[in-house]
Amino acid sequence: MTAKLTNNQIAWRAAQDITDGAYVNLGIGFPEKVAQYQPPGREAIFHTENGILNFGEAPPQGEEDWDLINAGKRPVTLKPGASFFHHADSFAMVRGGHLDVAILGAYEVAENGDLANWSTGPKGVPAVGGAMDLVHGAKRVAVITDHVTKDGKPKLVKRCTLPLTGVGCVTRVYTSLAVIDIEGGRFVLREKLPSLSLDALQAATGAELLVSGPVIDLIVPEL
Amino acid sequence: MDKTVANLATAVAGIEDGMTVMIGGFGGAGSPIELIHALIDRFRATGHPKDLTIINNNAGNGHVGLAALIEAGMVRKLVCSFPRSADPVVFTDLYLAGKIELELVPQGTLAERIRAGGAGIPAFYTPTSFGTDLAKGKPVAEFEGRSYVQERWLRADVTLVKAETADPQGNLTYRAAARNFNPLMCMAAAETVVQASRVVPAGDIDPESVVTPGIFVQKVIECANPQQEEDLNRANAVYPGVA
């Protein structure tokens, strides 16, 4: 496999589906990049588990306020219209169906919508944070991920083998090769890199890709 | 009514061996560093309190605050959602050596269990963790076609939190995202101890602005210019430091 999207490009593609005024939670790490690529004229309101709505980017070095951090414990700033709230209200927003979108990373996503993204197995210190809460309640739970692992193994699989974060929760996956919806317990291909054949994409995917409509060319700017 | 106490030692005097203690904060934001360090001072002087069960979102960072409490050997069990940090060596080493117990709880479930404890609700159902390893052994029920996991309340003997402003009746406001778990923990303990950056006369906090009403608070101590975990860690601070 040759051409694939960079993480910035995957984040850009995911950002195109976020509507103006949407309430959005971005998982810690890679998903945070999505905030940088909102299309001009659209402004989502970002939620962080530790009690802020409508936070903005990091402050310049030396201007950090350590009472103003995100769930990854990195310093952030506030946008006009920001609000603070306690943790129970924060997770009421999550589980109560008030968020429009949650975008998360993944170790594995299964064709039935199961997600594994919190534990790679019994070794070390287990840590879950808000991952298991976030997969429930957001109107749309999307995943951004490389299409395969560093060893070239599929991350889109028939059934997850790693400990689950949630059952049947993911509805769309943005990968380095394609955009795939999960519908009726199947992977449905929506977009793929134009240079990539369907056979090559299927070979990199651990479960059958259904083509039920037009497959759009996945074209992303250089980033 | 005056809930203010004279010093930090008096503030933490109610914590005894084997107690369950909620400690506020998310990372360093809202973490009552001065109260935690006062508790460590008492342990170093008297050997007590020990065998504590601590409830916090994290397991400390570096060698100050909660990490220092764990490092001092005062903690038997930790209830938290995310025991990893930039410098988690204190907890990690004890955990991997089997010397500290961990109850891992999803973050929203942790918050709601504490809220339920404060609100007198012994159990509730949540979609979180259904079908995962963290739901093992817990009752499951279906409501309107969806499956939910039963979770129990969490209550504590003592809660330690940091607030921004307090009055002598225990009314509190918080600063920015330092609010996090603190208002919930204030509700869920038999004795809530607050370190506030400012203590003002009753009436000086606008009733519209009170976040934690004083009914949930038993002791207040003023700690002007409190230390912040992130600043201490950037300076590689160790508590109690080299004598």
Complex prediction ipTM: 0.97
Q: Report residue B140 as tokens.
A: 């499951």
From the CA of B83, how many Å to the nearest CA of chain A?
Answer: 6
**CB-based contacts of A123, cutoff 8 Å, min separation 6:** none
What confidence tier does A175 reach under pLDDT thresholds 50, 70, 90? very high
Chain B CB within 8 Å of residue A84 CB: yes
Q: From residue B117, how far is each of A20, B77, B155 by CA, in Å?
A: 38, 19, 5
Distance CA A111, CA A117 (A): 15
The whole-chain average pLDDT of chain A stands at 96
Q: Which residue of A has its CA nearest to B108?
A: A91
The string of pLDDT tens digits covering residues B165-210 is 999 999 999 999 999 999 999 999 999 999 999 999 999 999 999 9
Distance CA B165, CA B24 (A): 15
Distance CA A113, CA A157 (A): 10
Please name the fold of domain B1-120+154-163.
Answer: Glutaconate Coenzyme A-transferase (3.40.1080)
To which residue do tokens 């106490």 refer?
B5
Q: Contact A136/A91 with Cβ under 8 angstroms?
A: no
Q: Is A61 exposed, middle or buried (0-12, 13-18, 19+ CB in 10 A)?
A: exposed
Residue A137 confidence (pLDDT) above 90: no
- Report the pLDDT averaged over residues B98-118: 98
Total length of chain B: 243
**CB-based contacts of B120, cutoff 8 Å, min separation 6:** none
Q: Which residue of A has its CA nearest to B133?
A: A163
Please name the fold of domain A7-58+68-217.
Answer: Glutaconate Coenzyme A-transferase (3.40.1080)
Residue type, B15: I
The string of pLDDT tens digits covering residues B132-163 is 999 999 999 999 999 999 999 999 999 999 99
Look up A32 and say whether it is catalytic.
no
Residue B213 confidence (pLDDT) above 60: yes
**Nearest CB to B84: which of A85, A94, A127?**
A127
| Number of A–B residue contacts, CB under 8 Å | 143
Domain boundaries, chain B: 1-120+154-163
Distance CA A49, CA A87 (A): 7
What confidence tier does B242 reach under pLDDT thresholds 50, 70, 90? low
DSSP A80: E
| E strand or H helix that includes residue A14 | helix A7-16
Distance CA A37, CA A172 (A): 18
From the CA of A138, how many Å to the nearest CA of chain B?
Answer: 12
Distance CA A66, CA B233 (A): 12
Count CA atoms closer than 13 A to B16's CA, side-chain side: 3
What local confidence, expressed as pLDDT, does residue B23 receive? 98
What confidence tier does A140 reach under pLDDT thresholds 50, 70, 90? very high
The whole-chain average pLDDT of chain B stands at 97
CB contact under 8 A, A132 and B85: no
The string of pLDDT tens digits covering residues B33-65 is 999 999 999 999 999 999 999 999 999 999 999
From the CA of B171, how many Å to the nearest CA of chain A?
Answer: 16
Distance CA B84, CA A128 (A): 10
Q: Report residue A177 as tokens.
A: 């090769």
Q: Which residue of B has its CA nearest to A48?
A: B177
Distance CA A170, CA B236 (A): 41
Q: Where are the alpha helices (DSSP H) in A59-185?
A: 87-95, 131-134
Strand, coil or helix: B52: strand
Count of CB atoms situated within 10 Å of the CB of B96: 12
Distance CA B103, CA B79 (A): 5
Q: Report residue B45 as tokens.
A: 């002087």
Residue type, A163: P
**Nearest CB to B231: which of A66, A164, A165?**
A66
**Nearest CB to A125: which of B28, B95, B111?**
B95
- Report the pLDDT averaged over residues A43-69: 97
Residue A2 confidence (pLDDT) above 90: no
Distance CA B170, CA B188 (A): 15
